[in-house]
Amino acid sequence: MARNSDRIINDMLLALSEKVKVECLSMIETEKRGRSIVLAGLEEAPVDVSPSMRMKDLETKVEGVLSALQIECRPSELYRIGKFDHNRPRLVKIVFLSKHYWSLALANARLLKPAGYPDLFIRRSMTESERQKDYEMRKLARERNKERGFKQWVVY
């Protein structure tokens, strides 16, 4: 294939290829987020443990959580999000192989407390703007419930 000698067309082709690349990455990220959950409150391994042992500890703990959620699937990805903090555990991101296990995990979240995970919370993975919108909706629901004196407004 001969290289195009027209500079304008060449620039347009380069711009188009970059745009396609960015849009493809965005689509892949959105699809992956659609199969991901985030756990809050899962204790971390001690600081003095090696990184490989910390990862094994995380895998073992997540295995227990998935058993409590009645999920028979290993996650395709599993990792902690953010910098280590002595005061509170980092969030744990779990990416499932399919959307089926994602929906099963969220549907069975109510099983965590009876299984011995009273302080563990589960939610879907969201972008920063989605988290902000969710926060605003919860804030509005709290205000409306406070006005009424009982819990009527809930955010799903």
| Res 7: pLDDT | 83
The pLDDT of residue 79 = 96
Instruction: Report the alpha-carbon distance of residue 55 to residue 86 in Å, rounded.
Output: 17
Give the CATH superfamily of 34-125: L1 transposable element, RRM domain (3.30.70.1820)
Indicate the SS3 state at residue 132.
helix
Length of the chain: 156
pLDDT at 4: 67
Mean pLDDT, rounded, for 30-55: 93
Contacts of 121 (CB under 8 A, 6+ apart): 39, 40, 41
Per-residue pLDDT at 1: 40
Res 142: pLDDT? 93
What b/e sequence results for 41-70 when a residue is b if at least 16 CB atoms lie within 10 Å of its CB, and e otherwise? Answer: ebebbeeeeeeeebeeebeebbeebbebbe
pLDDT, average across residues 103-117? 96
pTM score, two decimals? 0.79
Per domain, the residue ranges of the chain are: 1-33, 34-125, 127-156
Decide if pLDDT at 3 tops 80.
no
